[in-house]
Amino acid sequence: MNKYFSFLTIGILTALSVSSQSVDWYTKLEILQRTNHIGNNPVGGNSIADNFLLTEATQNEIQRLDSIIYYSYDESSEEWDINNFKISIFYDKHFSDTLIRQSRWDETTDSWLTLVEEIKKYNENRQLLNREFYIISRSGNRTEYTYNNDNDLIEVTESYLDAGEWRYKTRNVYSYNSENVLHADTLYQRFTISGTPVWHKTGITTFYYNTEGALMADTTVARYWIREHSFSEWELFGNTVIDNVVNKNTSETIIERWNRESNTFIPFKKEQTLFVDEHEDISASIDFKWNKELQLWDTTQMISYLYGNDDLIINYEKRTWGESPTKVFEVLDYDYTITNKELLLPISAINSTPAIAFHHKINSKQSFRNSLSTNEPQQFRETVFYYSAIESDLPTSLNNISNISAEIYPNPASQFIAINFPDSYHKVWLELFDLYGTKILSKAVNKSEKINISNLNCGLYIYSIWVDEQKTVGKLIIK
C-alpha cells in the first residue's frame, strides 16, 4: 500500500514534466501499475478489482458505494441536513463504475443540478477503454486507452470537445523491455500545418530501475514548436529521483528541471513520505516547491494521519501554505464490522478522502477548520457515504458459510490457483462462478493440485469449496 501511495503521486508529476497540458495521469498510472511491471508492482489486467479498492477475498456481503453527500449546517433545526454537494456513482452489470456525476443543490428548483459528468467504457476484459469528462455547458475531454494482446497499456490519447466534435490533443505511447517493464513514455502532440492536422513527437521520458527491479528515476527530453514546419533540437527537460530513502522513516522524490543558463538540473518540486515505523504505516505526505530566490524548499501542502490504538487511521489533517493558507481537519466515523475487503469503492469518486483511510467502511466525515476569530476548530461540513448491498443471482450465498478450513491461493491470481485444506480432507469439490451466476468450473481437487485459470478473463469471481455437505464461499480475483 505504501508503494502504491507514493508512486501514484510521483507518476502524476512525472507525466506533467512531459507536457504542460492537463492530462488525467491518475488513471493512466493506475492502469500502468496494474497491467505491467513498474518497479515491483505485479502484472495484472485492469479488472473490476483494479477499478475499486478491493483486496483479498471475504466471505461477507459486498457493499458498493452509491453516493457521497456533503451537508451544511441548518441553524433552525440545529442539524447538518442542508444539501450542498453530491457525488453519485452508477454501475454496469459487471459492477464497474460507468458514470460518476457531481451535482450541487439548487434551492430554486429544490433539486440536484448536474455540474460534472465522468463517463467510462470498458472492453470485454473489463479494461478501461475511454473516459469522457464533461463540465456541463462548458467543455468536454475524452481519454482513450489502447492495449496489446497481452493486456498491456500501450497508448493513451487525449481529445477535447470543439463545436460538438472530438479533436485530438495529445497521445502517449508506452514501450516495454524484454522483461515487460515500462521502458519509455513518448509524447505526441497534434499540430495543424498548412490546414492539415499531424502528429509530432515532442517528448520522451525514459525510466530507470535498480538491481531489484524497483523504479529509481526517470529523465525527460523535449523539443518545442518554433514556427511552421520547424521544431527545436531535442534537449533535456526534467529529471525525477524516485523514492530516495532519506532515513528509516522518510523517503522522498525530487523533481528537477533543466536550466539552460547554468547547463544543469535545478530543483523544482519535492514530495516526502513520512512513516510511523520503517516504511509500514504512513504518518504524513508533504509537498514542497523550490524557492529560487531563497534557494530553499517551501512547504506547499501536508497531509498527516492520526492512528488509533489498533494502528488504523481514525482522522487526518490537510494543511496548505501560500497566499491563502488553509488547515482542514477531518474526523471519520467507521463501521468496524465491515472491512474494505467487503466494499467496492470507485477510486476516482473518493479523491477528497485518502484511499488509505478506507480500511473499514466509512459512514460519515466531519470537516473542521480553524476559526479566524478564536483560532479554534470549527466544523463547516458533514459528509455522509451511502452504500447498498450488491444484488446477484449467484446460486450460492456469501452469507451461507460453514466452518470448513479451506481457501484458494494465491488470491489475487493470474495463471494457477490451488486450494489449501487440512490433510484430513482427502479431496474437496470446487465450483467457480462469474458475477452473472454462471458456473464456469466444477471439479474435484486434490491437495496442492494446480488449477489452470489463465484462460479466464480478469475480474471478480465467486467460489464454493465443498466437503461432503458442508461448504465455504468466498471471492477470487483474477488479474
Q: Is residue 436 part of a domain?
A: yes
* 140-154, 199-213, 324-338, 464-478: least confident range: 464-478
Full-model pTM: 0.71
pLDDT at 95 (0 to 100): 76
* 149-153, 320-324, 424-428, 474-478: least confident range: 424-428
> Domain range for residue 472?
407-478
Domain total for the chain? Answer: 1
| C-alpha cell of residue 274 | 513520512
| C-alpha cell of residue 478 | 483474477
Rounded to an integer, what is the distance from CA 206 to the centroid of its chain?
Answer: 23
Residue 397 clears pLDDT 80, i.e. is over it: no
Let me know: does 59 contact 402? Beta carbons within 8 Å: no
Characterise 327 by phi-psi region: left (phi > 0), alpha (psi -120 to 50), beta (else): beta
pLDDT in tens, 87-129: 999 988 777 889 999 999 999 999 999 999 999 998 876 778 9
pLDDT at 44 (0 to 100): 30
pLDDT at 203 (0 to 100): 95
How confident is the model over 352-380, as a mean pLDDT?
Answer: 84
- Name 267's bridge partners: 256
Residue 215 clears pLDDT 80, i.e. is over it: yes
pLDDT at 284 (0 to 100): 93
* 55-59, 162-166, 231-235, 341-345: least confident range: 55-59
Pairing of strands 313-320, 282-291: unpaired
Q: Alpha-carbon distance 209 to 41, whole Å?
A: 12
Q: 181: which DSSP letter?
A: B
Q: Alpha-carbon distance 95 to 389, whole Å?
A: 12
Q: Is residue 314 part of a domain?
A: no
Q: Is residue 463 part of a domain?
A: yes
pLDDT at 278 (0 to 100): 60
Preceding peptide of 377 cis, ω within 30°? no
Q: Alpha-carbon distance 141 to 139, whole Å?
A: 7
The dihedrals phi and psi of 424, each to the nearest 5 degrees, come to -65, -20
Q: Alpha-carbon distance 156 to 391, whole Å?
A: 34
Q: Is residue 451 part of a domain?
A: yes
pLDDT at 15 (0 to 100): 40
How confident is the model over 75-86, as a mean pLDDT?
Answer: 93
Question: Cell numbers 534557494 correspond to what residue?
Answer: 295
Angle at 72 between CA 70 and CA 78, to 5 degrees: 130
pLDDT at 374 (0 to 100): 63
* 9-18, 106-115, 462-471: least confident range: 9-18
- Amino acid at position 103, single letter: S
Angle at 109 between CA 107 and CA 115, to 5 degrees: 80
Q: Is residue 292 part of a domain?
A: no
How confident is the model over 214-219, as a mean pLDDT?
Answer: 88
Residue 251 clears pLDDT 70, i.e. is over it: yes
Q: Is residue 450 part of a domain?
A: yes
Residue 12 clears pLDDT 80, i.e. is over it: no
Residue 26 clears pLDDT 60, i.e. is over it: no
- Name 304's bridge partners: 284, 317
Percent of the chain with pLDDT over 70: 81
Q: Quickly list H helices, 124-280.
A: none
Q: Alpha-carbon distance 311 to 309, whole Å?
A: 5
> 452 vs 386, 441, 456, 477, CA distance in Å?
39, 11, 9, 14
Tell me if residue 23 falls in helix, strand or coil: coil
| C-alpha cell of residue 135 | 463540465
* 101-105, 342-346, 357-361: least confident range: 342-346
pLDDT at 373 (0 to 100): 61
Q: Alpha-carbon distance 221 to 472, whole Å?
A: 55
Q: Is residue 388 part of a domain?
A: no
pLDDT at 465 (0 to 100): 85
Q: Alpha-carbon distance 479 to 477, whole Å?
A: 6
Mean pLDDT score of the chain, rounded to an integer?
80
How confident is the model over 12-23, as a mean pLDDT?
Answer: 35
User: What is the secondary structure of 310-325 as a DSSP string?
Assistant: TS-EEEEEEEE-SSS-
Q: How confident is the model at residue 371 (pLDDT cuts 50, 70, 90)?
A: low
Tell me if residue 348 falls in helix, strand or coil: helix
Q: Which is more confident, 250 or 228?
A: 250
Q: Please report, for the domain that includes residue 472, its CATH number.
A: 2.60.40.3080
Q: Is residue 444 part of a domain?
A: yes
pLDDT at 229 (0 to 100): 67
- Going along 260-415, which residue ranges are E strands? 264-275, 282-291, 296-307, 313-320, 326-339, 343-344, 360-370, 377-389, 407-409
